[in-house]
């Protein structure tokens, strides 16, 4: 806890005073432009990766950046999506997977789940990733098979995202756009899924169609 305490003290002393007016505005309301759905993995720090700050991203996190689609089921992720789209009126909804994802490792190898019944059940939500596996990328080296499945999960969860009623309405009315990303921890680079070309491209490159 000492590390957290020291960090908070630095925040109060060095950061908060320089941004007091911003926090005063944020204390009363929020108006994020982006819904960011990503993994719980501690190595994924959205504000660090994207250069964003307080009030920019509305973030939902869970193991494997999953978006459940079970009929009549209620969960934190889909409730967050509904609120972000219907109430906060975000303009973009992004699903971001990442390299070396533990959830996808477990789905691929099915090892070490004996004492994790809830996690094992949760992995049912990523089964569609196997259907949407992406071509092996030599740049991924010995992790190419896993990376292929992780990218496939981004595609699968992107489809689940578009199936959410609030998202479907936003897309139909032109008020919302969705994106699927793959973040590589080693290189720090992001790939974006091009739905028309059905492949991942470097983030920032033109998307077909």
Structure confidence by residue, pLDDT tens digits, 86-101: 999 999 999 999 999 9
- Decide: 104 and 153 in contact? Cβ < 8 Å: yes
Kindly tell me if the per-residue pLDDT of 205 is higher than 90: no
**Cα 140 to Cα 147: distance, rounded to the nearest angstrom:** 7
pLDDT tens digits, 54-85: 999 999 999 999 999 875 667 899 999 999 99
Q: Which fold has domain 31-202?
A: Beta-carbonic Anhydrase; Chain A (3.40.1050)
pLDDT tens digits, 175-199: 999 999 999 999 999 999 999 999 9
**Cα 126 to Cα 22: distance, rounded to the nearest angstrom:** 39
Task: Using pLDDT thresholds of 50, 70 and 90, give the confidence band for residue 33.
Answer: very high
Residue 102: both structure tokens together:
């533990």
- Decide: 12 and 64 in contact? Cβ < 8 Å: no
**Cα 87 to Cα 31: distance, rounded to the nearest angstrom:** 10
- Decide: 64 and 125 in contact? Cβ < 8 Å: yes
Pairing between strand 92-98 and 57-62? unpaired
- Decide: 99 and 150 in contact? Cβ < 8 Å: yes
Residue 93 per-residue DSSP state:
E
pLDDT tens digits, 104-158: 999 999 888 889 999 999 999 999 999 999 999 999 999 999 999 999 999 999 9
Residue 68 per-residue DSSP state:
-
Give the start-to-end residue ranges of the domains of the chain.
1-29, 31-202
* CB half-sphere exposure, 143, CA atoms < 13 A: 15
Q: Strand (E) positions, 88-165?
A: 92-98
Residue 81: both structure tokens together:
């999506």
């Amino acid at each position: 806890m000492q590390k957290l305490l020291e960090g908070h003290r630095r925040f109060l002393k060095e950061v908060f005073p320089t941004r007091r007016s911003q926090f005063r505005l944020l204390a009363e309301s929020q108006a994020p432009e982006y819904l960011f759905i990503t993994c719980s993995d501690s190595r994924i720090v959205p504000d660090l990766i994207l250069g964003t700050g307080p009030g920019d991203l509305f973030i939902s996190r869970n193991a494997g950046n999953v978006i459940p689609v079970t009929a009549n089921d209620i969960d934190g992720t889909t409730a967050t999506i509904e609120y972000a789209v219907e109430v906060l009126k975000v303009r973009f909804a992004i699903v971001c997977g990442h390299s070396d994802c533990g959830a996808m490792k477990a789905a691929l190898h099915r090892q070490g789940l004996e004492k994790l019944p809830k996690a094992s059940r949760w992995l049912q939500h990523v089964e569609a990733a196997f259907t949407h596996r992406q071509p092996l990328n030599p740049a991924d080296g010995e992790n190419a098979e896993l990376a292929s499945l992780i990218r496939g999960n981004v595609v699968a969860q992107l489809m689940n995202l578009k199936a959410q009623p609030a998202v479907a309405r936003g897309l139909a009315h032109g008020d919302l756009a969705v994106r699927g990303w793959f973040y590589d921890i080693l290189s720090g680079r992001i790939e974006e899924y091009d739905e028309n070309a059905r492949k991942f491209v470097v983030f920032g490159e033109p998307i077909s169609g």
